[in-house]
Amino acid sequence: MMIVRRTSVFINIIGQRVNNNCFTTSSSSSSSSISSSPILKFPSSLLSLDLPDIWPPSSPPIKNCCTAKDHPSSALVIDGKLIADEIRFRIAEQVRRMKDYVGKVPGLAVILVGDRRDSLTYVRNKVRACEDAGIKSLVTQFPQDCKQDDVIHALSTFNEDPSIHGILVQLPLPQHLDEGKILNVLKLEKDVDGFHPLNMGNLAMRGRQPLFIPCTPKGCIELLIRSSVEIMGKNAVVIGRSNIVGLPISLLLQRYHATVTIIHAFTKNPEQIAREADIIVTAAGVPNLVRGNWLKPGAVVIDVGTFPVEDPSCENGYRLIGDVCYEEASKVASAITPVPGGVGPMTISMLLSNTLDSAKRAYDFT
């Protein structure tokens, strides 16, 4: 009932926004009324339809749902760390070969705003991975309340630096910064995160090839392929529709000829839809959202979600859980990624791969 009430409120908001962008047709026959009437009932801007995805908490709540380390799995555990290590080893080999033949190495610049704990961890892991692979890395960090012009200036500087082949703006940005405007400044040929509108547009269109595919979705597909999971013709359900994961993974799955359904916060009967899936990729950011009864027996589950839970017994004082209740899902699925150790390491490996590809283009190196 709570979800229905919230949905009806948002439907009213949409109606108000559409009405504000679209005049109703008057019964008057005066020329002024006719000239002010729109041709279509379609809103003048699709932005008026944008609403935040506010997910309800998992019900009933789970206080201590086990992680992969806590609970043995009857499903195949897709070891993202092992696969990522293999990929990084191959990347390091090619970087060394590039250095021998060209005398240069790939360069990655990271722009970080604020001190979010998860963002700091992600950036630290990316820098460490660059060092291990022999890739040059630079990090520019700004305070939470920095000016947008400062971020754009740093981005523009990296755009013109020939030793930098990839630029990453760590998302999310603080709300006072215009994410779209900042990303639009990024040079297309250095957009190793794959979030530039032209890269996303080329991913969406058949017959087009983006320069870069977003790292996390690319890593998810790599996990499926290396685990011998058939994608073509399968029913795939993507939970979440963010620009970072949900949208690009749905587009990528379509490029691999899956039949794709997206579940978001306004979807009715999400459990029923999810139970039809042969492949589920979940990136909602809601801990333990996906329970065992959401899954069809034998489904393949890719869990992109990461959520820190306080745990004094862990080295950092917290542990990570995903969107999926691992204890329940591992009894139903045929294969599943753990959290941590599943998608996360693959995301970083795909970033290194994209940066290497960019440097190869810059130096005409094969």
Q: Establish whether 193 is a catalytic residue.
A: yes
Please pick, among 94, 136, 190, 193, the residue that the annotation labels catalytic: 193
Per-residue H/E/C for the chain: CHHHHHHHHHHHHHHHHHHHCCCCCCCCCCHHHHHHCCCCCCCCCHHHHCCCCCCCCCCCCCCCCCCCCCCCCCCEECCHHHHHHHHHHHHHHHHHHHHHHHCCCCEEEEEEECCCHHHHHHHHHHHHHHHHHCCEEEEEEECCCCCHHHHHHHHHHHHCCCCCCEEEECCCCCCCCCHHHHHHHCCHHHCCCCCCHHHHHHHHCCCCCCCCCCHHHHHHHHHHHHCCCCCCCCEEEEECCCCCCHHHHHHHHHHCCCEEEEECCCCCCHHHHHCCCCEEEECCCCCCCECHHHCCCCCEEEECCCEEEECCCCCCCEEEECCECHHHHCCCCCEECCCCCCHHHHHHHHHHHHHHHHHHHHHCCC
Q: Name the catalytic one among 79, 170, 218, 278.
A: 170
Annotated active-site residue 357? The verdict is: no
Active site residue 126: yes
Marked catalytic residue, from 126, 190, 218, 234: 126
Positions annotated as catalytic residues are 126, 170, 193
